[in-house]
Amino acid sequence: MRNYKFRLYPTVSQEDVLVNNINVCRWVYNKFIDYTKKGTVSQYDLQDYLIELKQQESWLYNYHSKMLQMVCVQMSGSQKALKSLKENGKKTGSLRFARYGEYRTFIYNQSGYKLENGKLTLSKIGDIKIKQHRIIQGKIKQVIITKTKSGKWYCSVTCELDKTQPPIINFKKVVGIDVGIKNFAYDSDGSVTPNPLNLKKMLKPLARIQRKISRRQIGSNNRKKAIKFYQIIHERITNKRKDFHHKLSTTYARKYDVAVVEKLQLTNMVKNPKLSRSIMDSSWGTFLQKLEYKCKLYVEVEPRGTTIDCSRCGNKVPKSLAVRIHRCDKCNLVIDRDYNASINILHKVIPSERRKSTPVEISKRSMTQEAHSKDG
């Protein structure tokens, strides 16, 4: 399966119809929430209840049937996710009603859509202008229409590809990657990528617009305009972060066939009050997810000992987060701590004899970095 995301440019009248479809799906979803208050209901029971709703509310027949049926699928998925969280010991409540503005998606599955000549044709809606910047491969299985908080419309096209041959993997093209806050990625070949920290750069504009929102009267048009600008800033931050993740993951996927990374426990890591914002801003999980589907082979290893162990001799060198240089008293290796960790990550899946291949010139570069940091 492959997804393509395109920008939609509906007219004013078409946008009203799209918003109306979203509100109808939200109304049906909230009816399902009320129906499932007594307990978990199967998807088949939800479909039967949808038929009863159509009989009670005849105006539902004016909307595409598959679109309403996908709300049943969504509700069933929400119940399964809630059940899974409870089984894992998480504290959860019941499913909540979707408020206006929170529900921004509807789905056309299997039928009711057509994409050609720069137009997306949806059943009972009409032709919508679409910016198709890529050629679609495979058979279209469903179309997801989404409205962002800033008011933009997007279309996600899910396609089923034909059976292809498995990729040929060259195990010599392997790299260990260590992600961090100061340096977003440091690999075992010595390449380092600084962390852009897009949210941190936009904290002042966000604080300014939040103060502006607080001064506006609730329900006024000026408050709505300020909220929309606030949402636009967050959307820009998200787009910058996604662009950075896509470019970096594509670089690694084209250069290497095998990517070895740490198996991070992000839920526990964000509990640190001093680093939680930087960790969330870095969004390592999203980057690793992109790296996983782009690389030919993606391997996760346990992070235990990757920072403490010496990549050359295996000696344990404990260090705090403030210490950025790894210094081994046994073999006199002096390198960046993230570089040392990336090599150890690579050693988790290859023989330890490769430790002898650690470049000597790394020590010179690391000592120069440490000298600059002391001068600063």
Say which residue, 163 or 95, is predicted with more confidence.
Answer: 95
Is 262 assigned a catalytic role?
yes
Is 338 assigned a catalytic role?
yes
In this predicted structure, what is the pLDDT of residue 361? Answer: 39
Active-site option among 178, 187, 281, 309: 178
Q: Hey, what are 169's tokens?
A: 């993997």
User: Per-residue confidence at 359, pLDDT binned at 50, 70, 90?
Assistant: very low
Lowest mean pLDDT among 150-154, 194-198, 366-370: 366-370
Residue 225 has pLDDT above 90, yes or no: yes
In this predicted structure, what is the pLDDT of residue 351? Answer: 59
pLDDT for 133-151, tens place per residue?
A: 888 888 899 999 999 988 8
In this predicted structure, what is the pLDDT of residue 338? Answer: 87
Q: In this structure, how many other beta carbons lie within 10 angstroms of the beta carbon of residue 318?
A: 7
Q: Give the mean model confidence (pLDDT) for residues 30-36.
A: 91
Q: Which of 254, 256, 276, 257 is nearest to 266 (CA)?
A: 276
Is 178 assigned a catalytic role?
yes
Q: Hey, what are 332's tokens?
A: 């006199």
Instruction: For residue 131, give the DSSP letter.
Output: E
CA atoms within 13 A on the CB side of 329: 5
Residue 8 has pLDDT above 90, yes or no: yes
In this predicted structure, what is the pLDDT of residue 248? Answer: 94
The answer to whether residues 32 and 73 touch, using CB atoms and an 8 Å cutoff, is no
Q: Hey, what are 286's tokens?
A: 């999203």
pLDDT for 287-336, tens place per residue?
A: 999 999 899 999 988 888 888 888 888 888 888 888 888 888 888 888 88
Region of residue 285 (phi > 0: left; psi between -120 and 50: alpha; otherwise: beta): alpha
If you write DSSP's letter for every residue of 35-98 in order, what string do you get?
HTTTS---HHHHHHHHHHHHHH-GGGGGS-HHHHHHHHHHHHHHHHHHHHHHHTT----PPPPP
Instruction: For residue 316, give the DSSP letter.
Output: B
In this predicted structure, what is the pLDDT of residue 147? Answer: 93
In this predicted structure, what is the pLDDT of residue 184? Answer: 93
The answer to whether residues 106 and 145 touch, using CB atoms and an 8 Å cutoff, is yes
Residues 6+ apart with CB under 8 A from 254: none
Active-site option among 187, 257, 309, 338: 338
Residues 6+ apart with CB under 8 A from 38: none
Active-site option among 187, 257, 262, 281: 262
User: In terms of pTM, does the model score above 0.95?
Assistant: no
User: Per-residue confidence at 356, pLDDT binned at 50, 70, 90?
Assistant: very low
Q: What percent of the chain has a predicted confidence (pLDDT) above 70?
A: 93
CA atoms within 13 A on the CB side of 366: 21
Q: Give the mean model confidence (pLDDT) for residues 261-290.
A: 89
The answer to whether residues 41 and 35 touch, using CB atoms and an 8 Å cutoff, is yes
Region of residue 361 (phi > 0: left; psi between -120 and 50: alpha; otherwise: beta): alpha
Name the 3-class secondary structure at 18. helix
Residue 360 has pLDDT above 80, yes or no: no
Say which residue, 201 or 268, is predicted with more confidence.
Answer: 201
User: Per-residue confidence at 370, pLDDT binned at 50, 70, 90?
Assistant: very low
